[in-house]
Structure formats: structure tokens, C-alpha cells
Amino acid sequence: MIKAKKRLGQNFLTSKSIVSLIVSSAEVNQKDTVLEVGPGKGILTGELLKYAGKVIAIEKDRDLIDFLKDKFKKEIEVKKLELIQGDALEFDPKPYLIKAKSYKIVANIPYYITSRLLKTFLETRTQPEKIVLLIQKEVADRITTKLSNGHRKESILSISVKVYGTPKLIKKVPAMFFNPKPKVDSAIILINDISKKNFTRPKKIDEKKFFEIVKKGFSSKRKLLKNNLNLPDTECLVKCGIPVDARAERLSTEDWLCLLKNSTCAEL
């Protein structure tokens, strides 16, 4: 019997209806190559194999690799499933996508790798066209937050996602649908329209510089943005329609992009 390993953050999904919703949210079809991170016992893998042209599943746990090899022996033999033992945070999808023009990421991932996984695959040159993840509900809320709701606040994480794509919260998933049951609820999020358009011509915004400024802006949450960025005056903020007494958490992705594009902000 395969038991979940706490050190790997394993919580196996048990609900078939949630699995179906994850796959349908990703709009998986026979033309798709899907990368699944942390297939676990294969409940999501099995559903993906029904609809995708090919599934590449990367699993860190050696015991689960052996389990999955036995469970999906036929699918592996016909090359519909490629099972890889390794760390998804160090995985380069490019060599595995020789025949595929694009790919999607669909996965139930350990909570603790959420931020790093998103950074890895959103910043890479080989970006997925779509990402659907089952993650901690609190983190899903942070990523999909909308400033139109007065009490909502942006974060480095939410800006880091939104500058590449459009995140959407699909559904809350109670802890009871996992084994072992985690202490918190989860949620399915979808990230659509993934690209690097904000860092390519004609905008010509430097990707590295963008994140340096965002991190600097959030460096001291209690301070005003103008103080964190060491601005000599507020002209830069005014030209972007940003209140002079704003804190970083109140800026949208478009606000940050404006700061980088505006010639009066050259001192940044």
C-alpha cells in the first residue's frame, strides 16, 4: 500500500468529480501534450489519458514511479504516457516537445512548490499555453485577487502571474476530498492567455528590470511606494495615474508596466 509522504507534501486527491472538473477546465483534447506535475497515485493521470494526445508525468517519489509504471503499463508501451522521475522545478520541457507546438500544465501539486513552480514555467522561454492547478485556497485567492474589491490587495505573487497570463479561480475544493486530509482547503485555478507579450516589442520592457522594481516596491509593506522606490518626486506616479500616497499592494500589473514604460520614471 502506497502511503503519502509528508516531507514531499503529498495529499492524494480522491474525488473523481473534481478530477473531471480539472481536466475540463484545461479543455484537454487529442491535439494536446499535457505535463502533469506530481501524478501521485494516478487519479488525474488516468483522466488526462482519456482526452490528451500525450501525457508527460513527472514524479519525484521513486515508490510512486514504480506504482505508476505498473498501473499504466499499456499506456507507457504505446507512448501515450511518458513517466519521468525527477524534480519538476528543475525540469526542462523543451526536449520532450519535439513534435508538439505547445503544451498545457495540469496538476494537483504539493502546496509548498506553488510559487516556485509558477515562476519556473511562466518565466521560461518554453511557456505552456495554459495552466490548471489544484493548490491551497488561500494562495489561489491571492493569485486571483481583484483590486476592484476594496479590501483586496495585490502581492508579488499575483503580479508575477498576471504579467504573463490571466488567472481565474474555478472552484473551491474542501479538504475532505484528499487523503490524507490537509489542514486547509484547496482550489482549482486556471491561468489562460500565457505569453511574454509585455516584455517583447513594441513595449520593450526589460523582464528582469520589471521584477527588480516590483520586489523593491514591496520591500517594506508599511512604507509608501514612492519611499520604497526612492523617487525624487511624484511626477512618475502622477503620469501613470497612481496616487502619490499609494502602497505597492494597491498597484495593478498595468500600473507596474506603466512605471517601466514612462520616460519620467527613468531613475527607477
Long-range contacts of 263-266 (CB under 8 A, 24+ apart): 264/235, 264/236, 264/239, 265/236, 265/239, 265/240
pLDDT digits (tens, 9 = 90+) for 208-259: 999 999 999 999 988 999 999 998 888 999 999 999 999 999 999 999 999 9
Matching fold, domains 6-195 and 199-265: no
Determine contact, residues 111/136, Cβ cutoff 8 Å: yes
**CATH code given to domain 6-195:** 3.40.50.150
Average pLDDT, the chain: 92
Q: How many CB atoms lie within 10 A of CB 203?
A: 11
- Which cell numbers hold the place of 175? 479538504
pLDDT digits (tens, 9 = 90+) for 79-91: 999 999 999 999 9
CATH class of 199-265: mainly alpha
* pTM for this prediction: 0.94
C-alpha radius of gyration, the chain, whole number: 20
pLDDT digits (tens, 9 = 90+) for 150-205: 567 999 999 999 999 999 999 999 999 999 999 999 999 999 999 999 998 776 78
Residues 6+ apart with CB under 8 A from 172: 137, 185, 186, 187
In this predicted structure, the answer to whether residue 8 has a pLDDT above a threshold of 70 is no
Domain residue spans of the chain:
6-195, 199-265
Determine contact, residues 256/159, Cβ cutoff 8 Å: yes
